[in-house]
Amino acid sequence: MNSPLNSLLPLPRSVRLGEGVFALKTPCTVFCGACPLTAASIKQALESVPGSFWRFSDQAVQSEICFRISTEMVRPQSYRLLITQDKVDASAHDPAGLFYAAVTLAQLARLSDNLLPGCEITDSPDFPVRGVMLDISRDKIPTMKTLYWLADTLAGLKVNQLQLYTEHTFAYRGHEDVWNNASPMTGEEVRLLDSYCRARHIELVPNQNSFGHLERWLALPRYTRLAELPQGGAPLPWGGKRDKPTSLCPTDPQSLAFLADLYDQLLPNFSSGLFNVGCDETFDLRGEGRSAAQVRERGEGRVYLDFLKKIHALITDRGRRMAFWGDIIIRHPELVPELPHDAVALEWGYEENHPFDAHGALFAASGIPFYVCPGTSSWNSLAGRTSNMLANMAAAAANGLKHGACGYLITDWGDWGHWQPLAVSLPGYAYGAAVAWGYERNAKLPLPALLDCHLTEGFGGTLLTLGDVYLFCGALHANSTELFKILSSPRSRPLAGNVTFATLQSVLERVDAVAASLPPSGSVIARETGQVIRLLRAACRRGIALKEGGIAEERTRLELARETEELMAAHAAVWRLRNREGGLKDSLARMDSILIEYKT
């Protein structure tokens, strides 16, 4: 029989087998120490075990399970869990370590039906910060119930930071026209979530993009005056142009006044001392906008850095530490040493061959603290990109450790309508959390089985398999899949590469085979998996129709239109299982454009 010790997630640093088992009684007496906050977090972890009843005592000598701070544990967040036939003793360096000991104990209880195997576990994390950043601006904002569930889930994976990527989805006073239809996060909701996260040793970090990606703001006439390119038209590195203005003008003092107003409203709701100001993908700043003269005189990198330093001053004046995306400054390596040395660079990249090694070496040599930031590969994909995700996350961990990164941040985006359900992201959360906790011992863990033990209710292998069907389509893309492009692009776009009727039929047959093997279930994750299958089937059938005749026949168009209407209805239903109404209309509009195409 497989030992529950082999099914822990993340797998611990050291496990020494002992003798016998410790049988959890009803009730079982637990000593949590003198600190009320520490005791509360331990109780929260243990009470997640179904069917167990805990009696908490302030007397260690009378308790069967004891949690204590110990000077013998020297690494931050480290713990030692000793289980014998008579007693469970947990010792840790700090309150976070005690919480992680309780998380491990709770996992063992669930995995062993409350018969804990005799053992000694010694454990500590590789990265001091292990975070998840969820996009809540394109276009999906979770309900509070979902956010609480997410905090519980991440805490169970020993994640200790959460960010909610924000462009326009906080309810800023005086800016109602920007967020009015978005079902935004309010200050009260943030404060509640912040408190909930703190009780689980998760730092809720404020996140507000502050330079680029401000399309929702700058598209409105009252804000267009702040744009670097008010008329839009920023060239994109992957081709084409961005129609709407996207970046603030860095040489306009009113840009800083605008940001100061946002910061003064946002930051008081967070207890974290860190603040992610974004500042990525500032494509407008290429010498064609309002700052053109300064860009020509001093260079794009210098103009960017000067504005970043001004933002840094705003953050410092408000008693916070700035974090920012590192993609722009890394293009100007000579400027990296000039960054404020208390700022945290967020080194992001989402392909398996991203240069985490070279970029990490540059930040480290320049004395700039940095996180490595891989991604779930869920966005623009329909079902994820499993193989790419695993390689990307492993490379981030290996090279982050090599160059002394102080954090590991899993990013989960929602580009182009956030069509993928949350279930698609769960494998990335689990695997990223595992390699961030301990790279060497978790890089090759049995992910399908562990997902089903902890997160996916029997759908782990299915989600991983669906996440790799794109490999058989006949074309590969960075940051997307051909299947997503087929389903989201107008029929005037030619199919890419070696995509043929046969390759699309092969993908469809693989999806159908997975669907036929699914157990009957009405759970949320089952319904989300069903929606992933619908998305993949719709993409394949649209692609096949395009290959056969460009959707010229009326019968074909009517069949595809009916399927798209059903897909949109299911998308809305699955969306509402975890998310607010705001943003759904925009997400559906992207599908509706294809439906209109079928009907004309």
pLDDT for the residue 35: 86
**By percentage, how much of the chain surpasses pLDDT 90?**
92
The token pair at 485 is 């492009």
**Distance from C-alpha of 130 to C-alpha of 150, rounded to nearest angstrom:** 15
Q: What is the CATH number of the domain that holds 38?
A: 3.30.379.10
User: Please, which residues bridge with residue 205 across strands?
Assistant: 163
Q: The domain that contains 230 carries what CATH number?
A: 3.20.20.80
Q: Which of 105, 123, 141 is the last residue of a domain?
A: 123
Question: Do 356 and 297 have their domain in common?
Answer: yes
- Structural domain count of the chain: 3
Dist CA 243 CA 426 (whole Å): 33
Q: Are residues 433 and 479 in the same domain?
A: no
Identify the DSSP state of 366: T
The pLDDT value recorded for residue 486 is: 97
Establish if 489 belongs to a structural domain: yes
What residues contact 40, with CB distance under 8 A and at least 6 apart? Answer: 199
Q: What's the pLDDT tens digit per position in 388-439? A: 999 999 999 999 999 999 999 999 999 999 999 999 999 999 999 999 999 9
116 shares a domain with 156: no
State the Cα–Cα distance between residues 36 and 508, nearest whole angstrom. Answer: 55
Per-residue tokens: 3: 């030992």
pLDDT score recorded for residue 237: 83
Q: Is residue 491 part of a domain?
A: yes
- For residues 371 and 353, state if they share a domain: yes
At which of 123, 153, 184 does a domain end?
Answer: 123
Domain assignment of residue 469, yes or no: yes
Same domain, 398 and 530: no
| Residue 524 pLDDT exceeds 60 | yes
Is 142 found in the same domain as 99? no
Residues 455-482 as b or e (16 or more Cβ within 10 Å = b): bbbebbbbbbbbbbbbeebbbebebbbb
- Whether 194 maps to a domain, the answer reads yes
**Residues facing residue 581 across a β-bridge:** none
415 with 535, same domain: the answer is: no
pLDDT digits (tens, 9 = 90+) for 10-30: 999 999 999 999 999 888 999
* Average pLDDT of span 356-381: 98
Output the pLDDT for position 5.
96
For the chain, state the CA radius of gyration: 25
What residues contact residue 513 under an 8 Å CB cut-off, 6+ apart?
none
Please, what is the Cα angle at 571 between 504 and 598, to 5 degrees? 55
CA–CA dist 352, 164 (Å, integer):
24
Prediction pTM value: 0.97
φ and ψ of 224, to 5 deg: -55, -30
- Residue 378 covered by a domain: yes
Residue 253 makes CB contacts below 8 A (sequence gap 6+) with none
CA distance 480 to 420: 12
Q: Strands, DSSP E only, in 225-278?
A: 234-235, 241-242, 274-276
Residue 527 in contact with residue 577, Cβ under 8 Å? Answer: yes
Tell me the C-alpha to C-alpha distance, in Å, between residue 292 and each of 107, 288, 297, 332. 57, 5, 9, 18
386/427 same-domain check: yes
What pLDDT was estimated at residue 44?
Answer: 92
User: 288: which residues sit within 8 A by CB, 6+ positions away?
Assistant: 229, 233
Residue 56 has pLDDT above 50, yes or no: yes
- Using DSSP bridges, classify how beta strands 161-165 and 129-135 pair: parallel, antiparallel or unpaired: parallel
Residues 432, 354, single domain; the answer is yes
pLDDT per residue over 133-189, tens digit each? 999 999 999 999 999 999 999 999 999 999 999 999 999 999 999 999 999 999 999
Query: Which residues share a beta bridge with 477?
Result: 480
pLDDT range class, residue 1, cuts 50, 70, 90: very low
**Residue 551: its pLDDT value, please?**
85
How large is the average pLDDT for residues 516-538? 96
Q: Which domain holds residue 111?
A: 4-123
Cα separation, 102 vs 451, whole angstroms: 20
Instruction: Give me 26's structure tokens.
Output: 């009803």
Same domain, 245 and 328: yes
Per DSSP, the residues of 522-533 read -SHHHHHHHHHH
Is 456 among the domain residues? no
Same domain, 175 and 264: yes
Residue 337: predicted pLDDT: 97
Residue 40 forms part of a structural domain: yes
Would you say residue 53 has pLDDT above 60?
yes
Residue 162 lies in a domain: yes
Strand pairing report for 79-83 and 88-92: antiparallel
Largest CA distance in the chain: 80
Average pLDDT of every residue of the chain: 96
pLDDT given at position 287: 86
Whole-number Cα distances in Å, 162 to 86, 134, 344: 38, 8, 16
Residue where one domain finishes, among candidates 123, 153, 170: 123
CA atoms within 13 A on the CB side of 270: 27
**pLDDT, tens digit, 9 for 90 and up, residues 435-482:** 999 999 999 999 999 999 999 999 999 999 999 999 999 999 999 999
162 & 187 share domain: yes
CA separation for the pair 379, 256 (Å, rounded): 31
Task: Please name the residue that has the structure tokens 């996140």.
Answer: 207
SS3 80: strand
Whether 330 has a pLDDT exceeding 70, the answer reads: yes
Q: How far apart are CA 99 and CA 197, in angstroms?
A: 13
